């Protein structure tokens, strides 16, 4: 860096003069310098704006007190070398800061020198986003960073659903770094720059024409122009001549175009015709009374239009004035000292000792960064990364002889149709813009891409299948047919544009190729798309974009099945053995409970022991048909019986429905019940070779690889299933439903068992961010809605099934787990009834004859005797017990009186 400084100084031939090295704390005059091209588009505005700012600052009693601020302007005359050398002239005088240079390219060079001499450089037009404060600590951007402008463009691209853009720019630091920032912002939105169209910094018409021809041959129609004021309009002029300002194109210009419109308005009619429908960005400056008054004053100062650069130039001068005032207020002095490095080079005619270091430069830099004021452009305050707070842009649409503001972009909110002051009291919900009139005078949002006009057809990779030719096949003439091909062609026919393509077979045709490898080759550029039975799985979605699935095809299990005919014991099939056992036991238990609750006072449940047992059995099983003749007289018995009859009703209905299904529907039986059986049993499993099934079984279901047997053709499927595990075959095959249904269409001895245990689909694969994937997806949905998809499926995949294909795999038998809740409720009711009845009997037993009970206890106090008496009381009929108790009391009274 120091050698670079010396080279610049050597190239500067003007003899340097000595200078005073110390000023008073509050000098009468403070000098600032400004470097720009007076005759440029920006310079014509900036010169007037800074002169007005100096006049206002020196007339204001609220800043600088008695100190006058003087600005010295140097004209660089469109010369890059002068843009570098002119700032050195300020560095030989008492200049505390420099406004400029105008271009980012020269600002980088001057910023290096300023860092050595500790002189702050403020630029409102050098918006290169890569000029960071870490590399250039004394460079301050007093306008908005291009990083935010590119973020606004990325939001616009995302808003309209575009995926790729073309960037036209000048091949210098300003152009390259701005487009690089655009690429980063687009990548955050999953978009990208498909073609970076760079032009020389000063391009000729031939350069621009050649570049635009290349752009026209590209697929993307979204073109971002990050141009110079000098040659930007020439791009649109030549694009109009080439027919590139027509329907289908989208042109987005950075703020250079809005600056031209604001400064030279009204533009010539031919120029306005060339930019019809263009979207342009402009630095947003909020409306205020201060800004309105300045605009009215501007028309008295000059006939040049006021652009945002003039507003920022005006505010930059005021920013320096407040910083200088704060610098002096904190004890700063304007003093300079010799740079030790330059002192070592003193000698000859160069007089390098004239270049001094600003002693208070670092402190003055801090004062600049701490300024917080409201100006014409809004709030002038720097963030930690030295960007102005609240960056915002207007979004303009060029229409007719002028433009229309279609919205705004805010760094913290994104796109909006309302200005920020109206958003304060409004809930911001979504990004949007007003309607746009696009090139070609259309309001329909352009698709944003077309097929390139280079004559190349899309190479569509299609797997050349060995098995199941109905899906895809290659005939003797090399033509490809099948279900997948017909769906793809039908979808393309629905697109509103022609798609030139050719189908290219992938694979030898002697074995099924790997669809994952086909997708990989597409991402490598061998194919432009992949069409076939490509299942959409996670591994493949990481490599490509897929369309809407056009076939739902999950994994199923195919196993040998046998027909279940009618038999003499068919009536036992609805219930499992466990269910039969529990149901029978429940009948007996409930009958016993009812007998216990009714025996004491119900004659239907009394009699000899044999009669009571038979009555209990009869009552229990007669409830199955609701034909029991015995009545219940106790409340507890009735409650238990009602609950039990409800349970019987549910069991009876379920049994009837299941038995009806068994006897009327053709049944198939298999020892394999589904994927769960295969996971728990250590049996060999077949799978189609070259498919994703193997990886799914191993990695997702944790089935050991040694159990898996690859199979290639339907004939191998047939043989493996017939041989079974005992003869080197397999117990079942796991495959996609579409293929398994085709396999089973002529093989009645096999069937699908269990449920489909994955939900996958087939889709067409396209490279990442391909817009064709979205359009084909929409076409697939349209095929499904109009019925064409079903007709294509019936044509290829609907085969006449064998006689058993309408059958169902054996209906699941009713298990105890389906009814355990009912049995629990009934059991709890029985237990509670027994407990309540027992408590009731104990109370009655204690109240029947207290004296008898006390005498009995004195005579017979053993527990077994008391229990025997209680049981006798419970079993004895209620009327007999009362009569016996009465006789015993009479006998006891006679014995006492006698």
Q: Average pLDDT, stretch 358-371?
A: 93
Q: What six digits make up the tokens of 507?
A: 């694979």
Query: In angstroms, rounded to a whole number, what is the distance separating the alpha carbons of residues 355 and 18?
Result: 9
Kindly tell me if the per-residue pLDDT of 348 is higher than 60.
Answer: no
Q: By mean pLDDT, which of 257-266, 610-619, 768-777 is the weakest?
A: 610-619
Kindly tell me if the per-residue pLDDT of 275 is higher than 60.
Answer: yes
Q: What six digits make up the tokens of 388?
A: 């102005």
What integer pLDDT is reported at residue 176 of this predicted model?
93
pLDDT bracket for residue 665 (50, 70, 90): low
What integer pLDDT is reported at residue 864 of this predicted model?
65
Q: Provide CB contacts within 8 A for 808, sequence distance 6+.
A: 665, 666, 667, 668
Percent of the chain topping pLDDT 90: 45
Return the SS3 of 132.
coil
- The terminus-to-terminus CA distance of the chain in angstroms comes to 142
What integer pLDDT is reported at residue 802 of this predicted model?
58
Query: In angstroms, rounded to a whole number, what is the distance separating the alpha carbons of residues 795 and 481?
Result: 12
What integer pLDDT is reported at residue 573 of this predicted model?
64
Decide: 102 and 77 in contact? Cβ < 8 Å: no
Q: Average pLDDT, stretch 677-700?
A: 89
Q: What is the pTM of this model?
A: 0.68
Q: Which tens digits make up the pLDDT trace of 871-883?
A: 666 566 555 555 5
pLDDT bracket for residue 110 (50, 70, 90): confident
Q: Which tens digits make up the pLDDT trace of 280-317?
A: 999 999 999 999 999 999 988 999 999 999 999 999 99
What integer pLDDT is reported at residue 342 of this predicted model?
60
Distances (CA, A) of 727 to 679, 684, 722: 21, 11, 9
What integer pLDDT is reported at residue 645 of this predicted model?
79
Buried b (16+ CB within 10 A) or exposed e, 347-382: eeebbbbbbbbbbbbebbbebbbebeeebbbbebeb
Compute the C-alpha angle 378/383/387, nearest 5°: 70
Query: In angstroms, rounded to a whole number, what is the distance separating the alpha carbons of residues 200 and 203?
Result: 5
Q: 311 or 799, which is more confident?
A: 311
Kindly tell me if the per-residue pLDDT of 438 is higher than 50.
Answer: yes
Question: Residue 545 pairs with which residues in a beta bridge?
Answer: 766
Please state whether 860 falls in left (phi above 0), alpha (psi between -120 and 50) or beta: beta
Q: What is 826-866 written as a DSSP string?
A: HHHHHHHHHHHHHHHHHHHHHHS-HHHHHHHHHH---HHHH
Number of CB atoms found within 10 A of residue 617's CB:
14
Compute the C-alpha angle 726/732/735, nearest 5°: 150
Distances (CA, A) of 419 to 286, 703, 728, 898: 8, 61, 77, 119
Query: Which one, of 510, 511, 507, lies nearest residue 462 by Cα?
Result: 507
Query: Which one, of 582, 655, 584, lies nearest residue 617 by Cα?
Result: 584
pLDDT bracket for residue 243 (50, 70, 90): very high
Q: Provide CB contacts within 8 A for 170, sequence distance 6+.
A: 198, 199, 200, 201, 203, 226, 227, 228, 231
Q: Which tens digits make up the pLDDT trace of 710-740?
A: 998 889 999 999 998 888 899 999 999 888 8
Q: Which of 79-93, 177-191, 660-674 has the highest mean pLDDT?
A: 177-191
Task: Say how far residue 342 (Cα) sits from the centre of its chain.
Answer: 58
Q: Which tens digits make up the pLDDT trace of 597-645?
A: 776 666 666 667 777 777 777 777 777 666 666 677 777 777 887 887 7
Q: What six digits make up the tokens of 239?
A: 């694009």
Residue in the structure block whose two tokens are 């799985």: 537
Average pLDDT for the chain: 83
Q: Which tens digits make up the pLDDT trace of 140-186?
A: 999 999 999 999 999 999 999 898 999 999 998 899 999 999 999 99
What integer pLDDT is reported at residue 289 of this predicted model?
94
Q: 419 or 293, which is more confident?
A: 293
Examine residue 101 and say whether the peptide bond preceding it is cis (omega within 30 degrees of 0): yes
Q: 857 or 569, which is more confident?
A: 569
What integer pLDDT is reported at residue 603 of this predicted model?
63
Q: Provide CB contacts within 8 A for 238, sequence distance 6+.
A: 205, 208, 209, 212
Q: Which tens digits make up the pLDDT trace of 647-660?
A: 888 877 877 777 77
Q: Average pLDDT, stretch 355-374?
A: 91
What integer pLDDT is reported at residue 639 of this predicted model?
82
Query: Which one, of 679, 224, 677, lies nearest residue 448 by Cα?
Result: 224
Q: What stretches of 690-736 show up as alpha helix (H) in DSSP?
A: 693-695, 714-723
What integer pLDDT is reported at residue 674 of this predicted model?
82
User: Exposed (0-12), middle (13-18) or buried (19+): which is 69, by Cβ within 10 Å?
Assistant: buried
Q: Average pLDDT, stretch 747-771?
A: 87
Buried b (16+ CB within 10 A) or exposed e, 220-259: bbbbbbbbbeebbbbbbbbbbeeebbeebbbbbbbbbbbb
How many residues can be counted in the chain? 898
Query: In angstroms, rounded to a whole number, what is the distance separating the alpha carbons of residues 803 and 748?
Result: 7
Please state whether 378 falls in left (phi above 0), alpha (psi between -120 and 50) or beta: left
Question: Residue 399 pairs with which residues in a beta bridge?
Answer: 402
User: Exposed (0-12), middle (13-18) or buried (19+): which is 20, by Cβ within 10 Å?
Assistant: exposed
Query: In angstroms, rounded to a whole number, what is the distance separating the alpha carbons of residues 190 and 196?
Result: 17
Kindly tell me if the per-residue pLDDT of 21 is higher than 50.
Answer: no
Kindly tell me if the per-residue pLDDT of 8 is higher than 50.
Answer: no
pLDDT bracket for residue 848 (50, 70, 90): low
Q: Average pLDDT, stretch 677-702?
A: 90
pLDDT bracket for residue 114 (50, 70, 90): confident
Count the alpha carbons within 13 Å of 855 in the hemisphere toward its beta carbon. 7
pLDDT bracket for residue 754 (50, 70, 90): confident
Decide: 16 and 92 in contact? Cβ < 8 Å: yes
Q: By mean pLDDT, which of 173-182, 524-533, 696-705, 793-802 is the weakest?
A: 793-802
Query: In angstroms, rounded to a whole number, what is the distance separating the alpha carbons of residues 168 and 176?
Result: 10
Return the SS3 of 171.
coil
What integer pLDDT is reported at residue 807 of this predicted model?
41
Percent of the chain topping pLDDT 70: 81
What integer pLDDT is reported at residue 602 of this predicted model?
66
Distances (CA, A) of 377 to 391, 437, 676: 11, 29, 70
Q: 344 or 506, which is more confident?
A: 506
Return the SS3 of 13.
coil
């Amino acid at each position: 860096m120091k050698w670079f400084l010396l080279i610049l100084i050597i190239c500067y031939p003007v003899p340097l003069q000595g200078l005073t090295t110390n000023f008073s704390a509050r000098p009468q005059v403070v000098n600032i310098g400004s470097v720009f091209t007076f005759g440029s588009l920006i310079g014509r505005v900036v010169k007037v704006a800074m002169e007005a700012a100096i006049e206002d600052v020196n007339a204001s009693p609220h800043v600088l007190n008695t100190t006058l601020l003087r600005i010295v302007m140097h004209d660089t005359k469109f010369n890059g070398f002068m843009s570098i050398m002119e700032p050195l002239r300020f560095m030989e005088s008492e200049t505390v800061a420099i406004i400029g240079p105008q271009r980012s390219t020269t600002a980088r060079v001057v910023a290096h020198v300023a860092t050595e001499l500790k002189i702050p450089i403020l630029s409102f037009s050098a918006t290169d986003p890569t000029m960071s404060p870490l590399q250039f600590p004394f460079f301050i951007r007093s306008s908005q960073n291009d990083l935010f402008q590119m973020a606004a463009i990325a939001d616009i691209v995302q808003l309209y659903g575009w995926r790729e853009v073309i960037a036209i720019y000048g091949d210098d630091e300003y152009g390259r770094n701005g487009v690089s920032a655009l690429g980063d912002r687009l990548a955050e939105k999953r978009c990208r720059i498909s073609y970076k169209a760079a032009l020389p910094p000063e391009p000729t018409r031939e350069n621009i024409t050649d570049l635009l021809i290349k752009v026209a041959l590209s697929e993307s129609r979204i073109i971002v122009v990050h141009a110079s004021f000098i040659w930007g309009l020439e791009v649109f002029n030549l694009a109009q001549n080439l027919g590139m300002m027509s329907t289908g194109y989208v042109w987005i210009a950075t703020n250079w175009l809005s600056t031209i419109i604001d400064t030279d308005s009204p533009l010539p009619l031919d120029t306005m015709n060339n930019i019809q429908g263009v979207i342009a960005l402009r630095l947003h400056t909020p409306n205020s009374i201060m800004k309105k008054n300045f605009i009215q004053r501007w028309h008295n100062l000059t006939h040049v239009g006021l652009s945002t650069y003039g507003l920022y130039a005006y505010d930059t001068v005021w920013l320096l004035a407040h910083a200088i005032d704060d610098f002096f207020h904190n004890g700063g002095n304007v003093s300079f000292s010799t740079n030790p490095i330059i002192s070592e080079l003193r000698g000859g005619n160069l007089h390098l000792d004239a270049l001094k270091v600003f002693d208070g430069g670092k402190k003055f830099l801090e004062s600049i960064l701490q300024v917080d004021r409201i100006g014409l452009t809004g709030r002038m305050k720097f963030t930690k990364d030295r960007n102005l707070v609240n960056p915002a842009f207007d979004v303009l649409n060029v229409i007719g002889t002028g433009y229309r503001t279609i919205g705004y972009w805010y760094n913290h909110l994104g796109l909006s149709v309302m200005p920020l002051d109206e958003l304060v009291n409004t809930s911001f919900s979504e990004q949007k813009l007003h309607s746009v009139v696009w090139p070609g005078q259309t309001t329909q949002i352009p698709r944003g891409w077309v097929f390139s006009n280079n004559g190349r057809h899309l190479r569509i990779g299609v797997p050349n299948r060995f098995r199941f030719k109905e899906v895809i096949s290659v005939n003797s003439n090399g033509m490809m047919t099948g279900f997948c091909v017909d769906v793809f062609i039908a979808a393309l026919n629905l697109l509103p544009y022609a798609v030139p393509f050719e189908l290219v077979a992938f694979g030898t045709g002697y074995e099924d190729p790997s669809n994952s490898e086909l997708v990989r080759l597409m991402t490598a550029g061998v194919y432009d798309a992949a069409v076939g039975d490509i299942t959409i799985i996670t591994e493949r979605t990481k490599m490509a974009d897929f369309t809407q699935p056009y076939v739902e095809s999950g994994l199923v299990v195919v196993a040998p099945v046998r027909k279940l005919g009618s038999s003499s014991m068919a009536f036992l099939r609805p219930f499992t053995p466990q269910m039969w056992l529990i149901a029978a036991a429940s009948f007996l238990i409930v009958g016993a409970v009812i007998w216990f609750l009714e025996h004491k006072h119900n004659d239907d449940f009394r009699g000899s022991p044999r009669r009571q047992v038979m009555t209990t059995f009869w009552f229990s099983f007669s409830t199955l048909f609701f034909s029991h003749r015995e009545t219940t007289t106790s409340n507890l018995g009735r409650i238990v019986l009602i609950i039990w009859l409800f349970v019987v009703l549910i069991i009876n209905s379920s049994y009837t429905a299941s038995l009806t299904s068994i006897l009327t529907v053709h049944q198939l039986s298999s020892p394999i019940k589904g994927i769960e059986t295969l996971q728990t049993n250590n049996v060999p499993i077949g799978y189609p070779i070259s498919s994703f099934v193997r990886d799914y079984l191993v990695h997702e279901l944790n089935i050991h690889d040694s159990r898996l047997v690859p199979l290639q053709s339907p004939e191998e499927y047939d043989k493996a299933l017939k041989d079974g595990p005992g003869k080197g075959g397999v117990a079942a095959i796991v495959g996609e439903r579409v293929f398994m249904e085709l396999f089973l269409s002529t093989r009645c001895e096999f069937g699908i068992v269990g449920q489909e245990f994955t939900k996958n689909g087939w889709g067409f694969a396209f490279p990442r961010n391909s817009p064709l994937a979205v359009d084909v997806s929409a076409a697939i949905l349209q095929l499904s809605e109009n019925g064409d998809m079903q007709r294509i499926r019936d044509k290829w995949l609907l085969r006449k099934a064998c006689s058993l294909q309408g059958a169902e795999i054996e209906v699941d038998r009713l298990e105890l787990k389906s009814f355990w809740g009912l049995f629990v409720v009934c059991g709890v009711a029985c237990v509670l009834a027994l407990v309540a009845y027992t408590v009731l009997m104990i109370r009655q037993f204690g109240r029947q004859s207290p004296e008898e009970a006390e005498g009995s206890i004195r005579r017979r106090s053993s527990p077994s005797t008391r229990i025997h008496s209680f049981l006798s009381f419970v079993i004895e009929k209620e009327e007999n017990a009362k009569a016996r108790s009465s006789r015993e009391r009479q006998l006891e009274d006679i014995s006492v009186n006698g």
